Structure 1
Amino acid sequence: MSTPDVDLELELTRLVQRVRRRSIQIVSGLHRDLDYGTYLFFLAICDAPGQVRGADLAESMGVHKSTASRAIAALVKYGLVEQHPDPSDGRARLLVPTEEAAERLRGYRTETHERLVRLLDGWEVAEIDAFSGALRRFNDTAESF
């Protein structure tokens, strides 16, 4: 197999940097004291099917429970996440985004989707499908490393 051109790494770096800059803009819009790392916990809570326990969140994100606990405490303090008692375990708390925070995130995601539509204006459907398929394959392979 031949070595991919160095331009691929450059273009991936540009993409990641642009996505991170955009995410940081979203972070500041959710709460002025929210940092990027805690924002990732917020996304995981929002994207969980239903309520999620802090211990499960820590495991799924591959972090120590204390790290998750600090992030959760900040999200609760900022009014982005609510905690509810877990009926199956009196010591555990279930996490769910506040309705206002979830609505703001939906708005950011809608805005992002609309930006993508504008970005891809002029692309053929086959080009978009090929690009999407290549990214999916790349991400699937990267996750298995």
Structure 2
Amino acid sequence: MTNELPAGLDVDFELTRFVRRVRNRTLRHLGDIHPKLDYGNFMFLLAIVDAPDGIRGSELAEDLGVHKSTASRSVATLERLGLVTRVPDPDDGRAQLLVAEPVATQRVAEYRRRSHDRLVTLIDDWTPDEVASFARSLTRLNDRAERDF
């Protein structure tokens, strides 16, 4: 297989362009989750919501590729906002797990539903095969990126 991207198609540019649009839309709707939530803390909140049994702060930092002190500051902010709490780790009484408060889980689910609905409108003129192919390609790209980045 060649390492060349298709002529006339700048995949990196198009991905960046789409991510920038998604980020801007997210910024406009963060207040639906909490009026004082910023984008950086939102990324931490998503990771905590996506760990329904809880996640250790050190795991959170590693998963997001940030220093533990950065994760600690974001978690403290999320706790002050009432979106995250700490609970004892049932496997290690000395450790604590971060868990999303039910209101945070509910608001993130609503945000994701609205985002999904928006995406559906963006591809409503695509064929089912085009949607399936796009989804498979994104999955393949993300799977490889998780291994190699």
TM range, smaller chain: 0.7 to 0.9
- Describe the SS at the equivalent of 1:28: helix
- Aligned residue for 1:57? 60
- Aligned residue for 2:139? 136
Pairwise CA distance, 1:88? 4.1
Q: Deviations over 1:47-101 (max 9, x none)?
A: 0141112122122222222111111100000011111233444442221111111
Any residues of structure 2 matched to 1:104-115 within 5 Å, and which? 104-115=107-118
Pairwise CA distance, 1:12? 1.4
Which runs of no fewer than 5 residues in structure 2 stay unpaired? none
Scaled by the length of structure 1, the TM-score of the pair is 0.87
Q: Tell me the percent identity.
A: 49
- Describe the SS at the equivalent of 2:24: helix
Q: Relative to structure 1, is the Cα distance of residues 81 and 18 closer, same or farther in structure 2, using a 3 angstrom cutoff?
A: same
Q: For 1:47, which of 36, 44, 50 is the aligned residue?
A: 50
Partner Cα distance (1:102, 1:49) in 2: 9
RMSD of equivalent CA atoms: 1.9
Which runs of no fewer than 5 residues in structure 1 stay unpaired? none
Quick check: 1:7 aligned with 2:10? yes
Partner Cα distance (1:94, 1:142) in 2: 27
Scaled by the length of structure 2, the TM-score of the pair is 0.85
